[in-house]
Structure formats: C-alpha cells, structure tokens
Structure 1
Amino acid sequence: MKDAKFAITDIETTGSGIKGNKITEICVMVVQNGEIINEYSSLVNPSQSIPLYIESLTGINDDMVSNAPQFSEIADKIEEITRDCIFVAHNVSFDYNILRAEFTNIGRDFKRKRICTVRLTKKLIPGLFSYSLGNICTSINIPHYDRHRAGGDCEATVTLFQRCVSLDPEYEVINEFLNRKTGASFLPPNFKNSDFEKLPTETGVYFFKDKDGIPLYIGKAKNIKNRIKSHFQERSNRKYKLMQEVHSIDYELTGNEFLALLRESDLILKYYPKYNKAQKKYAKPYTLTSYHNQKGIEVFALHKNKISPVSWMKFYTRDEAVSFMEKVCEKFELCPKYAGLQRGVTSCDHYKIKSCSGVCRAEIEVEEYNDRVAQAIDFINQYENSCLLMEKGRTRDEKSFIYLQKGRYAGYGFIGNSEDFSHPEDFRNYLIPQKNSSYTDRLVSRYLNTKKNLIRQPLENTESIVETEAGSWFG
C-alpha cells in the first residue's frame, strides 16, 4: 500500500448536481510515497453555457472555455494519468460520478477505487467545525490559493491528503475505506460508516436528518438498511443534493409493510420534509350507490361526481371498484347488469361472472333478488364498521393492530401474542391515535380490497377483529 499511487483530482463544472452537469476544468495530481510524480490540468469546453452563478463562483466563463478541448479530446490523457491509481477527491462521489458520466457520454467506461478526503479527515481529524475544503484548510493551516479553481483546490487536497497519511502511517484507515464491504465508498460525506452498519434489516420507516436533527426525507422499506443503501447509490441531482445534507439517520420499526405505509404518511404530514414530494391529491373517489329502477329492482351503480342520497362504499380507482363488485356478484349471485359491471345489454353476458340468479331474464322474482341485494349491502357495510386489522409485529412475540373507526384509519398499536382483548375497548390501552387523510383512506381501501383471506370475528358493540394472513403487500 505504501507504494500505491493516488490520483488526487478536482473538477469544476457547469452546475451543482450530477446529471447533465459538464466539466469546465480538471486537475489531476498523482501522489506516490508522499510526492507528486505526475500532474495534468486543463480547461474543458462543456459545449453549453456556463450559468452566471457558476461563473461568479469559479471565475470561469464561456469565453475562457470556447477554445478549450472538449472532454472527448482529453479522455485518453485522464485515462492514462489515473490508470493503476486510487482516485481521491474532496467529496469524491461528486467528482468521480461526474467524470464517469463524461466517459459514458463518449461510449467509454471509467472505474477506479476511490477515497473521499472529507470522510478521511473526519476519521483522522475529528471535531472540526466544518469539513468543507476551505474551512478544513483554515482550521489546520493548509495554504489554499485559487479557491474554486481546479488547480488551487487540487493542490490544497494533495496537502490535506498528505496530512492524513501522516496520521495513518500504516494505511489502516485508508485500507478500511477501500474495503467496499464497509460501505464507506458509497456513504454520503457527513454520515458515519459505523452508524450505517447499525441500521436494521427489518421493515419500517426511516428518516434522513440534517445537522440540526430536522427530517429531510422520510421513507418506508421492507429492509431499511438495503433501502437506505440504494438511496446512497442512486445518481440523480435531487438525491445528490439530499445526500450532501444528511448528517444522521433515524428509523422506526413497524413489523409489516401496511403499517409502514401508514406511518410514512403520518410522518410526512407531521414534518413536511424538504425532499419528500407532497402526497398526491387524488381525484374524487368512485362512490358505490344503489337505487330502484322502474321494475323495482335494486340496482348498484358507480358514480364519480354525482351526488346520491345513498352511499355504500368508496373506491379510489375504477379497477378496485370493479374487482370488488365482481366478488360481491359471485358471493350473492347478483346480476352484473344490475351491479354496475355491464351496460347496454338486455340480459347479462359477463366474461367472468356466470353465477347470475337470472333476474335480468325474469327467472326469479324481484323480491327474491332484492333480498340478495340486501344481504350484499349488509356485507358491504362490514367494511364501514369499526374494526382492528391484526398484522405482524416488530418481534416474534408481538403483533400489531391498525384501528379503523367507521372504516377510517384512526391509529395503531402493538400487543403481545399472548394478550387478547376480552372486551372491545381493551385495545384503547395500547392505541396510538393518528389523524386520517385522503391518502390513508386510499391505502386502507386498497388493503381491504386486495388482501386475500380476511377473516372477520364479530365482537359486541359492532366492533370486530380482522385477522390477515401473513404475506407481502406493498403499494
């Protein structure tokens, strides 16, 4: 390792993100055994205008790069000077990924082992107020000339790297960072590898937080650690900006995916994190209604905008509504023509439902058919009752419940597997109340309409327990 070559690099670009960002200047200094053995620097024509704010920051303008080589013209030189080197930069994910993107754009690949001097300095020189290159140089007395120019920043990074090597003479920390299994190669600059290794692999919600502990982003995951790793490895401008602000990660285990979805919604509405897209405002739901036609037959209908004196149930997509009504038709031998599933036919001829009792062909009396409809409405009303949805808990020794108050999400809780509710109100001792929203309405509706093998156990006072089979369900 002591004879290893390190290609310490700095680039200036047309912007602050990764995608669509083009190099305007590059400097590479190759260090071996503490000495600079090779170097290369050049302005680069990005083939696009340099924004005014970037020009103000770096001093590089369109005129300066108009006669400079394009990246394709210097790619061979960059490939050659960094060959057999470990790629080093201050906030290496930025420089490395911009450079890789430039190579990709000309149909070439670029892969190097890499080290970030932000993370290296945090490990070897802890406790500094800031780990930006300028502030580090000021704090530990490193000369830093021509700031925000590739040559000046690269020279300062070389001195910083040499200082770090003097504090790690056996290259123990550097070797640790080069080991991809530790995760150090993909973690954001302000996040500790030790904290990443402590993340759980269970189901729940997670919080990316800024330096003041304020949530920047909240998400859900079946495997929290793997999902967070995928965030770190994603290459988009938005994700890059988020990762630069992340200083800590918190999480909350839920034990199952449905509760993770609900908790994600709860927490986004509570904190309104900067990087979460606002929860979508869904269009008006489809409303299941019924009325008596001229023959006296009680007919189901689905309306989206019409006002009806009778409303049995709401659906957030027509597919959900159709799927549910097909099940109702089969269960109670109703006619698809009179269940909102077929229009413009004299008698039903549904592709799937063959169990029609024959009311459309006058094979049974209207009163008998309406009795079937009444039974179906009683069944439908169960979905609007208050109930508990029992799901997997966070450990093998517990289970979770989601409380629906008159069909609307109202909270959740956890109980031991051996505990049982002898009285319907006992669950309130464990309940963590939550506010309902149109988004959680949709989650609950989809859950109830897509979950198979729901078993309803009636309890007194119209309460019921809904046991669900173990399995995977995610929106």
Structure 2
Amino acid sequence: MKDAKFAIIDVETTGGGIKGNKITEICIIILKDGKEIDRFTSLVNPGRDIPLYIEKLTGINDRMVEDAPYFNELADRINTLTENCIFVAHNVGFDYNVVRGEFSEAGIDFNRKRLCTVRLSKKLIPGLFSYSLGNLCTSINIPHYDRHRAEGDTEATVILFQRCLDLDPEYEVIDEFLNRKSKESYFPPHFKASDFEELPHKAGVYFFRDKIGKPLYIGKAIDIQKRVLSHFKEKSNRKYELLQNTHSIDYELTGSELLALLREAELILKHYPKYNKAQKNPTKPYKLTSYHNKQGIEQFALHKNKIAPVSWMQFYTREEAIQFLEHICEEFDLCPKYCGLQQGVTECNHYKIHTCSGACRGDLKAETYNARVSKALDYIHTYEQSCLLVEKGRNTQEKSFIYLKQGRFAGYGFIDETEEFNQPEDFTNFLNPQKSSAYADRIVRRYLATQKGITRLPLKQTETSNQNIFEAWLS
C-alpha cells in the first residue's frame, strides 16, 4: 500500500447535483509517498451556460470557458494520469460521480478505487464541529487559498490528506477504508458506518434526519436496512442532496407491511419532510353502487358525482375500482357487462375475464343471477365492518393489529401472545387511536384487495358505551 499513488481531485461544475452536472474546471494532483509527483489543471467548456449563482460562487463565467477544451478532449489525458491511482476527494461521492459521468459521455468506462477525506478526517481527527473543507482547514490551520476554485480546493485537500497520512503512518485506517465491503463506499459523508449495521432487517418506517434531528425523509420498508442501502445507491440529484444533509437514520418497527404503509402516510402528514413528495388532496372518489335494470338483473356501476340510493364502496382511482370489480366478477361468476366492465355490448367478451354467467345471453334467470350478486354484496359488506386485522408483530412473541371502524383505519396496537383477555375492553389497553384519512382509507382498501390470507376478526361495538369496546379473540 505504501507504493500506492493517490490522485487528489477537485472539480467545479455548472451546479445541480451529480446527474447531468457539467465540469467547468478540474485539478488533479498525484501523490506518491506523500509527495506531489504530477499535477494537471484546466478550465473546461461545459457546453452550456453557467448559472449566475455558480458564477458568483466560483468566479468562473461563460467568457472564461468559451475557448477552453471540452471534457472529451481532456478525457484521455485524465484517464492516463489517474491510471492505477486511488481517487481521493473531499466528499468523494460528488467529484467521482461527476467525473465518471463526463467519462461516460465521452464513451469511456472510468473506474477507480476511491477514498473520501471527509470520512477519513472524521476517523483520524475526531471531535471537530464541522468537516466541510473550509471549516476543517480553519480548525486545523491548513492554508486554503482560492476557495471554490479547483486548484485552490485541491491544494487544501492535499495538505489535509498529508496530515491524515502522518496520523496513519502504517496505512491501517486507509487500508480499512479501501478494503471495506463495497456497500460502505455508498454511505453519506456524515453517516456512521456502525449506525448502518444497527438498522434491522425487519418491517417498519425509517427516518433520514439532519444534524439537529429534523426528519428530512420518511419511508417504509419490509427490510429497513436493505431499503436504506438502496437509497444510498441512487444517483438522482435530489437523492444526492438528501444524503449530503443526512446525519443520522433511525427507525420504528411495525411488524407488518400494512402498518408500515399506514405509519408512513401518517408521519409524512405530521412532519412534512422536505424530501418526501407532497401528498396531494385526493380527487373525489369513485363510488360503487348497484341497481336493477329493465331485465330485473342487479347491476353494478361506478359513479363520481351522481347521487345514488345506495353506495357500497369507494375508490380513489378508476384503476383500483376496475381491479376490484374484475375480482368479484371472477370470484362470484358474474357477467362483466353487468359489473360495469363493458358497455355497448349485447354479450360479454371481456379481454381478461373469459368466464361469463350467461345472464347477458339470457341463459340464466334473473333470480339465479341476483342470488350470486347477493353473495358478492355480502363479501363487499365485510369491507365496511368494524374489525381487527391481525398480522405479524415486531418479534416472534407478538402480534400486531389494525383497527378498522366501519371499514376505515382508526388505530393500531401490539399484543404479546401471552396476554389473556377477560373483558372485551381489554383490547383498548393496547390500542393507539388514529384519525382516519383518505390516504389511510386508500391504503387499507388496496391492501385488502391485493393481499391474501389476512386474519380478519369481526368486532361488535356496544351501543351503550362511550368508549371503543370490542368483542374479539386472538387465536
């Protein structure tokens, strides 16, 4: 390792994260045995206008780069210069990915081992208030001239890296960083590798937090650690910005995917994290109704704005409604034509459902067909009943439950399997009441329509009690 060469690199760019970002200036200083053996610096024509805020930050403007070479004209030289070198930068994820993106556009596959001086200095010079290059140089007395210019920032990074080499003369820490499992190379600069190993391979919600603990992003996962790692590997500009601002990640176990979905929706509405997509107010729902047509056949229909005598269910997208109608059509041997799945046809010829009761052709009496519809309605009514959905808990000794009050999400809880219930109201001791919302309602509907084998325990709410008292048994 002591024979290794290090390419300390800094780039100035047109801004906008890592994806599609163009280099306006690059500096490379090659070190061997801690000493400079080569250097390359050049302005680069980005092939686009430089934004005003970038010009104010770096001092590089369109006039300065108009006669500069494009990156593809420099690619071979940079590739040769850095060959067999370890790519070193302060916050290496940014510089490496921008340089690699430029090489990709030039038709060259650029791959180097990489080392981050942010993570390295945190390990070797712990306890500093800030590890940004400017603040770090001030803290440990490193001269830093021409800030936000490639050569000035590279020279400061070289001195910082030389200090790290002095603190790690046997290259023990550097070897450790270079030989770590590849996943650690994706970690955000402010995130501790040890904290990642504490993330569980279990279902729940997770929180990306800034340096004061404010949630920046909230997500859900069946496997929290695996999902968090996938965020680290994403290359979008928005995700890069999120990771640069992330200082810690914590989590809340839910036991089940459904509860994770519900908690995610609730917590996003509570905290409005910067990097979560805004939850827009859902449009007016599609309502499922039924009526008797001229042949006396009970027929299903969807409506949005009409007032109907009965309304069995509601859906927030037409796709969800159609999927549910297809399900009950097949499950109860009904006609697609009379389930609102086909219009303007005399007989069913649905592209997906190839079974037909024959009522549309007159092969089945209305009374017989309506009896099937009655069974379908009994099935639909189960969606409007108060019940507990019982699923896996946070550990093997526990179960989780989700309380649906008249089919709508109203709370959740966790129950140890050793608990005994002598009174119906004992369930309330474990209930975390929640306000329902259109989002939660939609999540529950979709989950029940697509997932099989869910344990549903009907509940009877006493009419005389002012509290939520249920009759149910976990078995």
TM over 0.5: yes
Instruction: Sort the Cα spacing of 1:293 and 1:49 in 2 relative to 1 into closer, same or farther, 3 A.
Output: same
Do the aligned partners of residues 341 and 21 (structure 1) sit closer, same or farther apart at CA in structure 2, a change above 3 Å counting? closer
Amino acid paired to 1:254: T
SS at match of 2:121: helix
**1:424/1:359 Cα in 2 relative to 1: closer, same or farther (>3 Å)?**
farther
> What amino acid does structure 2 have at the position aligned with 1:102?
E
Amino acid corresponding to residue 283 of structure 1 in structure 2: T
Contact 2:30 2:38 in 1 (8 A): yes
Equivalent position of 2:128 in the other structure:
128
Contact 1:389-1:467 at 8 Å conserved across structures? no
Scaled by the length of structure 1, the TM-score of the pair is 0.91
Correspondence for 1:160: 160
Deviations 1:420-442 (A, max 9, x none): 65654432211122222212211
Q: How does 1:361-380 map to 2 (within 5 A)?
A: 361=362, 363-364=364-365, 366=367, 370=370, 372-380=372-380
How many aligned positions are there? 467
Deviation at 1:357, TM superposition (A): 7.4
Of 339-348 and 160-169, deviating more is: 339-348
Q: Aligned to 2:101, what secondary structure does the other structure show?
A: helix
Q: Which residue of 2 aligns with 1:473?
A: none
Structure 2: distance between partners of 1:8 and 1:350: 64
1-side partners of 2:23 and 2:297: how far apart? Answer: 73
The answer on whether the counterparts of 1:23 and 1:44 sit within 8 Å (CA) in structure 2 is: yes
**How many angstroms does 1:323 deviate by?**
4.1
The residue correspondences of 1:162-241 to structure 2 (distance < 5 A) are 162-181=162-181, 183-241=183-241
Letter in 2 for 1:209: R
- Tell me how far 1:183 sits from its aligned partner: 4.0
TM-score (norm 2): 0.91
CA RMSD of aligned residues (A): 2.6
Matched with 2:116 is: 116
Amino acid in structure 2 at the alignment position of 1:364? K
The 4+ residue runs of structure 1 with deviation greater than 6 A are 462-468
Equivalent residue number for residue 143 of structure 2: 143
- Relative distance call for 1:348 and 1:88 in structure 2 (3 A) is closer
**Preserved CA contact (<8 Å) 2:388 2:456:** no
Q: Which residue number in structure 2 is paired with residue 471 of structure 1?
A: none
Equivalent-residue separation in structure 1 for 2:129 and 2:459 (angstroms):
60
Asked whether the equivalents of residues 454 and 467 of structure 1 are also in contact (C-alpha less than 8 Å), the reply is no
Measure the CA separation in 1 of the matches of 2:197 and 2:121.
20
| Matches of 2:81 and 2:235, distance apart in 1 | 25
Identity %: 66
Structure 1, residues 12-39: CA drift from partner, whole Å, max 9, x if none?
A: 1111411111111111111111211111
Secondary structure in structure 1 of the residue aligned to 2:284: coil
Correspondence for 2:279: 279
User: C-alpha distance in 2, partners of 1:458/1:324?
Assistant: 22
Cα 1:354–1:150 shift into 2, 3 Å: closer
Segments of 5+ residues of structure 1 without an aligned counterpart are 469-475
Paired residue secondary structure (1:185):
helix
- CA shift, 1:220, in A, is 1.2
Mapped partners of 2:335, 2:420: distance in 1: 41
- What displacement does 1:394 show? 1.5
Local SS of the residue matching 1:403: strand
- The Cα shift of 1:298 comes to 3.4
- Post-superposition offset of 1:338: 3.4
In 2, the alpha carbon distance for the partners of 1:305 and 1:466 equals 41
Deviates more, 1:125-134 or 1:410-419: 410-419
2: CA distance, partners of 1:118 / 1:59: 25
CA contact (8 A) 1:337 1:360 kept: no
Q: Do the aligned partners of residues 224 and 390 (structure 1) sit closer, same or farther apart at CA in structure 2, a change above 3 Å counting?
A: same
CA change 1:38–1:467 in 2 (3 A) is farther
